[in-house]
Amino acid sequence: MANDVEIENTFLKEVRVLRNPALGAFLMYRLALAYSQENELAENAPINLLFLVLPILYYRDTHDIVSSTQKKTGLSGYAAKFVTNNRSDVLLFIHDRAVEMRELSYDALRSGTLYELFQIDKETGRVIAATRRTSESSIPKSVEAMGRQADKLGIWFSKLSLLDISSYLKVAF
């Protein structure tokens, strides 16, 4: 019985951490910054892409594959891993998760703009990441690890069109 209480407390703590708009804003910032630094045309990230950060990084089945996929492999290699492992159904869940997490993503966007991690260009619909970086020593290791995964997504996304991203991840923008 005591073990059940510990498991429930751990679960509730994890839910509170993941439902924290500041964490979502940090991850969105990292994606947007990596996107703008790696994009060959020096463009900023389309706002649509920020709505994929939380559905991919907050779920173990999609997060673990990001974590185990090398940057150079790209989004096509990431998506192929699901097919290779007979888990292509997981890709179909990303769109549904994005819809379910829309409010949390909006809260993270608001937090990111409020704390000046990024700005949203209302004319282009692109996200301009602040160029300053927080000292990695001030960020908890678990959060920094998620930040590196968001960087990886930003790099992968920067190499592709929205149409290609939509096709690989089975999402609609």
User: Domain coordinates of the chain in residue numbers?
Assistant: 21-169
| Other Cβ atoms closer than 10 A to 94 | 18
Mean pLDDT of the chain: 89
Tokens representing 63 are 């997060």
Which DSSP string do the residues of the chain spell out, in sequence order? -HHHHHHHHHHHHHHHHHT-HHHHHHHHHHHHHHHHHH-TT-PPEEHHHHHHHHHHHTSHHHHHHHHHS-GGGHHHHHHHHHHHTT-HHHHHHHHHHHHHTHHHHHHHHHHHHHTTSEEEETTTTEEEE-S----GGGS-HHHHHHHHHHHHHHHHHHTS-HHHHHHHHT---
Q: Is 120 helix (H, G, I), strand (E, B) or coil?
A: strand
- pTM of the predicted model, to two decimals? 0.86
Q: Is 25 helix (H, G, I), strand (E, B) or coil?
A: helix
Say which DSSP state 3 is in. Answer: H
Per-residue pLDDT tens digits for 76-124: 999 999 999 889 899 999 999 999 999 999 999 999 999 999 999 999 9
pLDDT the model gives residue 18: 62
Per-residue pLDDT tens digits for 124-140: 999 999 986 655 667 78
Rounded Cα gap, residues 121 and 45, in angstroms: 10
